[in-house]
Amino acid sequence: MTKNRFAKKALSIMLSLVFLFSVFTVAEVLPVGYAEQGNGEGYDTINWDNVNAAIEAIHDIGAAEFTAECMARINAARAAYDALNGREKREVSNLGDLTDAEAAFHHLSRGHNTAVRFIADGAVDGLLDTHENRVYFGSYDPAGDSSAEPILWRMLDHSGGKMLLLSDKNLEIKRYHISDAVHVSWSTCSLRTWLNGSSEGIAGETDNSFFNNAFSGVEQSVVRDTDVNGIIPSGDTGQTTEDGNLDKVFILSSAEVMNPAFGFPDSTAATDTRAAELTEAVQLYASSGWTTARTWWLRDTNADTSRWVDDDGQVLASSDTGSFKQNDPRGVRPALYTDLSRVLFASPASGGKNANGALAEIPEYTGKEWKLTVRNNNYRFKVDETAATAVRGGTVTLHYTKAKYGTKDRISAMLVNADGHPLYYGQIAQAAAAADSVDITIPQSVVPGEYTLRVFNEQLNGDYATDAASAFSDVALTVTVAPGDVDRDGEVDLGDVVLITRWLAGGWNVTLEETIADVNDDGIVDLKDVVLIRRFLAGGWNVALV
């Protein structure tokens, strides 16, 4: 009898637990308002054909790709799911696959039109509309009163590891040569001397050269030596100018300003594409009677001919070489080649970098004005770790050495997808010491998968100014799903409890990743995991999901 009483008591406790479990399970599974509907009037019925069609449409999406076909499959699956009623939606067990695909496609699309463009392998990622884009690089003040304007450059070409820039406006008014101008050419003219790093030879003149005054030391390191004898310079080798020297800064030739590859018409006719605007400082010259301020010199002025672009964009020439070169000052529109191997990335010229101390999704940018972040060899920042794993919403701790920690210096990071597109950027922290650690939180919106966390030490110089930075320290990052988030919607909630409960009950076509559902890490998914998640959601003391 004692044994029978014990068995009855055990059975009674088990039935009570089953009853309690079934109460909260039914309450979660039934739609809101069911209790008030009495005998079930208005209760959603399940059309299994529609449910199965939605499940199949989600299954057919496959791996997310940045293609019109993939977008169509995602849109069709979303439409099929949205058309279901509340009860039918609960039967779609692969909803997480749809939300993951939508997020992945979103990231891929932003990578093709994002506000951060990597400069990799000598190519400007995304800057395809070459002649419409402008780059701020350096600053110049012809008056010399410390009120330099950022220099805006027109991008003419990027190929072969270099980018050809032409100043968007006339930056100065100069003679082609200061004296004895009849037989002078580009190699020996004072304009070339002034552009490239020394005085023009005017009595009492000090270091007023354009190259030294317009660019910081790190910017100067980005400007390539160029052979300007050819229409397309050959770089650091090949034929040089008459004096054997290469140029840092030069002016275009008449052949170059009639080159369609650089965005100009192939004729000498007037055109807006060649007409030059003036900086504010040069406008002062023009208002004082400098009628030639809107014209600009061409490089192939020589002993026989003077050449320039007129104020309407027409290419003109004159055989009165001595008079034109020495006595008629014209606008100067410098050109240069940047070495793309020293440029890390481009970002919007104004407000393009997130400074809120955390990774944030990089916004889209359809503007045409950019600034550069360039490599500074004096920045030798390095991260110790080469790989890391984190749940989305979790934190990665990285240890670093050789950080710069001035007032303008930051430790920054970008999250890069498998296609090499940056998705998130943030100025994470200002270092307090050369060697320390930094915590980087992975945004909740990141789709689980494989990424590169690109960490670097950058000097921030403000809008329209070139930033300097260390080389990237790349960390292979695996982003995982938080324990208990079985529907992979980014949150652990009652929806996950319902899905595990249905899976335990053998619900038809219900699938889940058992490693995510096994929140107590005992090797099996059972009611203990359901109870632990509910205690976690209720704020149970010292309750953790593993």
| Region 259-287 average pLDDT | 87
Domain range spanning residue 426? 351-480
User: 213: how many CB neighbours lie within 10 A of its CB?
Assistant: 16
For residue 373, what are the CA distances in angstroms to 97, 196, 384, 510?
37, 23, 23, 50
Cβ atoms of 153 and 137 within 8 Å: the answer is yes
Please count the structural domains in the chain.
Answer: 4
Q: Indicate if 139 and 281 belong to the same structural domain.
A: yes
pLDDT at 347 over 80: yes
367 token code pair:
């503007």
Q: Indicate if 445 and 473 belong to the same structural domain.
A: yes
pLDDT digits (tens, 9 = 90+) for 204-233: 555 678 999 899 999 999 999 988 754 333
Q: How far does Cα 480 stand from its chain's mean position?
A: 23
Q: Indicate if 419 and 387 belong to the same structural domain.
A: yes
Q: How far does Cα 428 stand from its chain's mean position?
A: 16
pTM exceeding 0.85: no
Beta bridge partners of 316: 308
Q: Indicate if 58 and 146 belong to the same structural domain.
A: no
| Residue that terminates a domain, selected from 291, 315, 339 | 339
Q: How far does Cα 26 stand from its chain's mean position?
A: 48
pLDDT digits (tens, 9 = 90+) for 134-188: 999 999 987 665 678 899 999 998 877 888 999 999 998 888 888 876 778 888 8
Q: Indicate if 91 and 142 belong to the same structural domain.
A: no
pLDDT digits (tens, 9 = 90+) for 292-318: 788 999 998 877 788 899 999 999 988
Least reliable range by pLDDT among 27-41, 393-407, 417-431: 27-41
Considering only CA atoms, which of 447, 440, 449, 448 is closest in space to residue 395? 440
Q: Indicate if 274 and 358 belong to the same structural domain.
A: no
Q: Indicate if 71 and 200 belong to the same structural domain.
A: no
Q: What is the 3-state secondary structure (H, E, C) of 262-325?
A: HCCCCCCCCCCCCCCEECHHHHHHHHCCCCCCCCEECCCCCCCCEEEECCCCCEEEECCHHHHH
Domain annotation covers residue 376: yes
Domain annotation covers residue 21: no
| CA–CA distance, 131 with 61 (Å, rounded to integer) | 38
Domain annotation covers residue 388: yes
265 token code pair:
């018409």
